[in-house]
Every structure is written in C-alpha cells, then in structure tokens.
Amino acid sequence: MPGLGVGRWLACLDSGFRRNDGEMGTWDYGKGTQSDGGPHGLAAPRSADPCEDRRMTLAGGRELLADAERGGYAVPGFNVSNLELALGVLDAAEARRSPVLLQFNPGNLDHFGGVAVAAATARTLADSARVPVAVHLDHGHDLELLRAAARAGFSSLMYDGSIKPLDLNIRETREAAVVALEHGVALEAELGHVGGREPGVVTSESVLTDPSAARRFVEETQVDALAVSVGTAHGLAGTVDLALLRELRAAVRGLPLVLHGGSGVSPRQLRDCVRAGIRKLNVSTEIHAAFARAIAGSGDRDPRPALLEARAAVAAVAGERMDALGSALRA
Ligand code: 13P
C-alpha cells in the first residue's frame, strides 16, 4: 500500500477507527475502495469502469464489499476444493451477473494442491470471468498462511482468532491488519464464534457475538468486515437472531458484516439478514453436497460426464444463493 508505513498504520489503529474525514462516524464506502486506499483515503479514486471490457481482472475484496454496501445486497463467498466446484460457481455468477468470491479455507487449500496452485488457478479464472471475482482466504489461523496467501495473489484475507480470548484476538487481528495493509488487500475477522464442523477449520462450541465487544474490536483493529455469530453454524442449518444482528450492525457503525454457515439458511432469512447489514455470505456445505450427490454412482471409466453434472449441480445451488442475497444483476 503506497504511502503508509506500518508504524503510521499502527498509530492510526491506536487513534481509533477514524475515517477519511478524521471523524469516528459511520463507515462510508462512497469515499474509497480497496484500490484507491479505501477508508484510509490515501490515494486517487478508482477511475476506469471495470465493465467496459466484459472480461474482468481479479477484484479486490474491499471493492466487492463496498459495492455491496452501496447496493444494499450481500456478495456470496463460496468455498471451493477443486476445479469443477470453482467452475460451477463461476457459471452461476456469469449467468446471474453476480460478483463473487472464490474462497479457500486451509482444508480447501490442501485439496486444491496448496496455496500457490489455488491462487494461480483462481486468479486465472478471475481474469477470464465476465463478472468481478475476488480470491479470498477463509479462516486463516496463522499469520504465515496470511502472508503466503497475500504473496501468492489472494485479494482478500480472513484472520480467525475467534476461539481466543478477546484481548488476544484483538492483538493478533491487528497484526493481520498490518499484513493485509502491506499487500493492499481486504481483511475480514471473526468475533464470537461460529461453531459446527468444517473440514480444515478449527471450531468449537458456538458463542454469540457481544455487541459492545464488537464495537471495541472494530475500533481497535480497523478490519474491513466482521464475521459475526448470530445463530448459524458451519455445515448445519441455523436460525439467525435478527435482533442481535441489527444490534451488532449499529454497534459497529455500519461496518459490513459477514455471515458464516450459510448452508441451510432459508432464502427468506437470508433476505432479512441482508436488510440487517450482512454484506457477505459464506457457503460451503451446500455446494460440496450437490457435487458429491452428482458424482455418486458415476461409472468407472470416464469421470468427465459426472464432473460436468456436478459442475451444473453446483451452479444451480450457487445461483439460488445469489438470488436470495440480491447479488444477481449487480455485475
Ligand atoms: P457452510 O458450510 O454452512 O455453508 O458454511 C461455510 C462457511 O461459513 C465457510 O466459512
């Protein structure tokens, strides 16, 4: 990130989450994006319309969040473990004209062949997609992985210290914020804890997010988005506590909120969540399950017909989520 040394960034964190105008007011994404310095307001605004040429380049995570904030919708982030899952997600995004994040947790990265292969593949797909695609690290538990992902070209990172005590989570998320800033990419963090089971992710019992802790957390870390625990769980259907979600959104003064555990949440609940301030939804189990069903019982000679069916099944599920989130026709 040009023009901002790490020392100055930490000083900026220490002074609270001041906006471009130096106030402690609400998050105003109209003033900046990932590529123009964002809320830190350090560089010239993004000028070119990325839709002039329908082929996109890799999108920044902060840009997608900013667009979702302005448009009042949520952008979907799909965890992908192989090429056909990624292709199915992109088929849906292009058919719906929806922005999207291709995302990888540590388990997804292992399946994909490691961080370098995942980054190169996802970035290549993003470059040839006709919609904005960001490449996101989901549930990064250590700073080395965040650094490796950023160096490999991920445009958005999540640091997850949610099973740690609040002070430690804040301290480590601040260090993650420095990594994100050094590479000019977005940072998502989690407070409270979304439980359930997800391969490759360290989880424990769910803990709902406390609004006053959330306010302190975002003031002291200045993350771009906060994943909150409001009733969902990884891999399971959950019911969202909408009153808590609204309280959290007010507590963090309009910072984009992220809902993990998106599988099984009804379209109606998702629409309510978007109205209450969810700007990114994570979905994994549903598309993996659609994929698994489609390849079950496939023949023993040529996997390609079954893989094509799996890709189509993933696209169908992903497209339904886009409709519920309001991200369709936004790209
Ligand atoms: P689901 O597996 O419930 O879709 O949750 C995915 C998720 O939150 C990834 O971070």
Per-residue pLDDT of 33-82, as tens digits, reads 333 333 322 223 333 444 445 567 899 999 999 999 999 999 999 999 99
Q: Tell me the mean pLDDT in the region 1-25.
A: 38
State mean pLDDT over 229-238: 88
pLDDT 10s digits, 116-169: 999 999 999 999 999 999 999 999 999 999 999 999 999 999 999 999 999 999
**79 CA closest ligand 1 atom index:** 9
Q: Provide the pLDDT for residue 130.
A: 96
Alpha-carbon distance of 141 to 157, in angstroms, equals 11
CB–CB of 234/198 below 8 Å?
yes
Sequential DSSP letters for 61-81? HHHHHHHHHHHT--EEEEE-S
Q: What is the mean pLDDT of the chain?
A: 86
What own/partner pairs with CB < 8 Å and gap ≥ 24 does 205-211 have?
206/233, 207/162, 208/241, 208/244, 209/244, 209/248, 211/244, 211/247, 211/248, 211/250, 211/251
* 67 included as an active-site residue: no
Q: How far is the CA of 69 from the centre of ligand 1 (A)?
A: 21
Q: Is domain 56-325 given the CATH code 3.10.180.10 in the classification?
A: no
Q: Which atom of ligand 1 is nearest to the CA of 198?
A: 2
34 lines ligand 1 (CB under 6 A): no
The ligand 1 atom at the shortest distance from the C-alpha of residue 236 is: 3
Q: Which of 138, 160, 210, 224 is catalytic?
A: 138
Ligand 1 centroid distance, CA of 269 (Å): 16
What pLDDT, on the 0 to 100 scale, is given for residue 55?
65
Residue 242 has pLDDT above 60, yes or no: yes
- Tell me: pLDDT of 28 over 90: no
